[in-house]
């Protein structure tokens, strides 16, 4: 490490929830608030954290045991988003060391961006609150294109926005969906084991070019600045 391909990396793209930012505390707050409103007990935080990368559908399945076909799903989905939209970043932070990673990318003159399945309204709120909006070269949300990850279109759209060909991009994510999307777009990929993994998740089996345990390892893969 660094790998031979790292010398060809011209841009780095991050998943948001569970990779770039630790958003699980605010997602857990929203789910717990909804559970209490519905006369249920809050869930243990580790259980919610493990599902935080998998969207509202996964969180409602965890909290209420329902799917989108359930009669109450639309109501609970709307209320969850209402609660989360009111408190999307009060407890959210960058993962430890991620600020050093972004500074290291700047030193290497490597632009970076975000590709997330999170709705754009929520993405923009979180990114702005973290002070990242002026620095991200592109921000692709779950409703930016007609498709979401693991479809490659959001990844390819990000390439156009950031001005780099897909084979010169590195994508970093904490779910199998992220790695699949990056691979289908012909990008290099790193799986973030520090993210929101479930007990059954095995990042080493996802086909990523590497697995990292801390954000700072991104710079190890890229090699020295200059």
Is 98 found in the same domain as 196?
Answer: yes
Paired sense of beta strands 112-115 and 138-140, if any: parallel
Q: In angstroms, how far is CA 8 from the centroid of its own chain?
A: 24
Paired sense of beta strands 112-115 and 210-212, if any: unpaired
At 81, give phi and psi (nearest 5°).
Answer: -65, -35
Tokens at residue 127, please?
A: 């990114």
Is 32 found in the same domain as 15?
Answer: no
Residue 1 pLDDT grade (very low, low, confident, very high; cuts 50, 70, 90) = low
Is 176 found in the same domain as 119?
Answer: yes
Quick check: 29 pLDDT over 70? yes
Domain final residue, candidates 86, 108, 137: 86
Reference 144, options 179, 118, 105; nearest CA is: 118
Is 166 found in the same domain as 67?
Answer: no
Is 216 found in the same domain as 108?
Answer: yes
From edge to edge, which strands make up the β-sheet containing 138-140? Answer: 138-140, 112-115, 11-14, 169-173, 188-192, 210-212
Q: How far apart are CA 55 and CA 27, in angstroms?
A: 9
Is 140 found in the same domain as 46?
Answer: no
Would you state the pLDDT for residue 7? Answer: 81
Would you state the pLDDT for residue 226? Answer: 54
CATH number of the domain residue 183 falls in? 3.40.50.1000
Is 37 found in the same domain as 18?
Answer: no
Would you state the pLDDT for residue 196? Answer: 98
Residues of the domain holding 141: 4-22+92-222
Domain final residue, candidates 67, 86, 105: 86
**What is the tens place of the pLDDT at every residue in 62-85?**
999 999 999 999 999 999 999 999
| Residues designated as active site | 15, 17
Is 96 found in the same domain as 41?
Answer: no
Q: How far apart are CA 61 and CA 139, in angstroms?
A: 28
Domain final residue, candidates 35, 65, 86: 86
Paired sense of beta strands 11-14 and 169-173, if any: parallel
Tokens at residue 73, please?
A: 């799903």
The structure's pTM equals 0.95
Number of domains in the chain: 2
Q: Are 164 and 185 in contact (CB under 8 A)?
A: no
Residue 200, judged by CB atoms within 10 A of its CB (0-12, 13-18, 19+), counts as exposed
Is 118 found in the same domain as 168?
Answer: yes
Reference 167, options 182, 152, 177; nearest CA is: 182
Is 163 found in the same domain as 134?
Answer: yes
Residue 218 pLDDT grade (very low, low, confident, very high; cuts 50, 70, 90) = very high
Tokens at residue 45, please?
A: 């935080």
**What is the tens place of the pLDDT at every residue in 93-127?**
999 999 999 999 999 999 999 999 999 999 999 99
Is 153 found in the same domain as 210?
Answer: yes
Is 155 found in the same domain as 48?
Answer: no
């Amino acid at each position: 490490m660094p790998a031979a391909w790292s010398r060809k990396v011209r841009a780095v793209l991050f998943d948001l929830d569970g990779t770039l930012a630790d958003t699980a505390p605010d997602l857990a707050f929203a789910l717990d608030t909804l559970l209490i409103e519905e006369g249920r007990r809050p869930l243990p935080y580790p259980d919610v954290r493990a599902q935080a990368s998998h969207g509202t559908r996964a969180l409602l399945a965890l909290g209420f045991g329902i799917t989108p076909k359930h009669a109450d799903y639309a109501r609970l989905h709307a209320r969850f988003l209402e609660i989360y939209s009111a408190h999307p970043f009060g407890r959210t932070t960058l993962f430890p060391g991620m600020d050093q990673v972004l500074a290291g990318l700047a030193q290497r003159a490597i632009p970076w961006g975000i590709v997330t399945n999170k709705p754009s309204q929520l993405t923009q709120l979180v990114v702005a609150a973290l002070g990242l909006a002026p620095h991200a070269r592109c921000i692709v949300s779950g409703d930016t294109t007609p498709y979401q990850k693991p479809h490659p279109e959001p990844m390819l759209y990000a390439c156009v926005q950031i001005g780099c060909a897909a084979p010169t991009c590195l994508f970093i994510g904490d779910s199998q969906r992220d790695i699949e999307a990056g691979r289908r777009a012909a990008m290099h990929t790193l799986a973030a084991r520090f993210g929101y993994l479930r007990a059954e998740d095995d990042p080493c089996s996802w086909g990523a070019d590497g697995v990292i345990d801390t954000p700072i390892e991104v710079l190890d893969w890229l090699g020295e600045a200059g």
